[in-house]
Amino acid sequence: MISSKALLGVGALAFVGAASVAYFRPVQPCNCDETMTAEGSSAPGDPVPAKHSPVACLLSEAELQERQKNVLAKMMARVLETKALDSGYAFRFAVDDTILAELVAVIQAERKCCAFLKFKLDVSPDNGPVWFELTGPKGTKDLLRKALQLKV
């Protein structure tokens, strides 16, 4: 189980407005109406160019099987709903005392082997659902469908 200190050390945690929406990203939070430019300043409609990480997992076949068995299968067993997105998938979870820590652990592990993935963790107010999005460049959706054994 991850401690609250480890949970806070994941990366920048940006809260949008008064809602309990958290985005875990390895960058500093920015104004939600703006995007960061390549020069580091922010201007509406001038996004940072995408980093060209290959859409591939860096784990060996044995490591991938271990990850699927001990981490991903357990996560997927807790999914209440799956939505196909243009560039990946969104998964809905019920709120309980462990789900947020478990999802952060997935993010920490997957960032190391799948640098192309973008993670979005959306925590609804009043003990509402938790949505976890995994997206990325072209090819991500197919890789996730296979790796997570999705039927969507």
Q: Measured between alpha carbons, how far apart are the two ends of the chain, in Å?
A: 30
CB atoms within 10 A of CB 110: 19
- Distance between CA 134 and CA 136 in Å, rounded? 7
Weakest-pLDDT range from 11-15, 94-98, 136-140: 11-15
The pLDDT > 70 percentage for the chain reads: 66
Q: pLDDT tens digits, residue range 130-152?
A: 999 999 999 999 999 999 999 87
What is this structure's pTM? 0.66
Residue 97 has a pLDDT of: 81
| Strands 21-25, 12-15: pairing kind | antiparallel
The domain spans of the chain are 4-27+58-147
Q: Select from 32, 138, 25, 121 the least CA-distant residue to 86.
A: 138
User: What is the overall mean pLDDT for the chain?
Assistant: 74
Q: pLDDT tens digits, residue range 41-81?
A: 334 444 444 456 889 899 999 999 999 999 999 999 999 99
CA dihedral 1, 9, 14, 144 (to 10 degrees): -60
The tokens for 36 are 């960061």
Which helix or strand (DSSP H or E) is residue 69 part of?
none
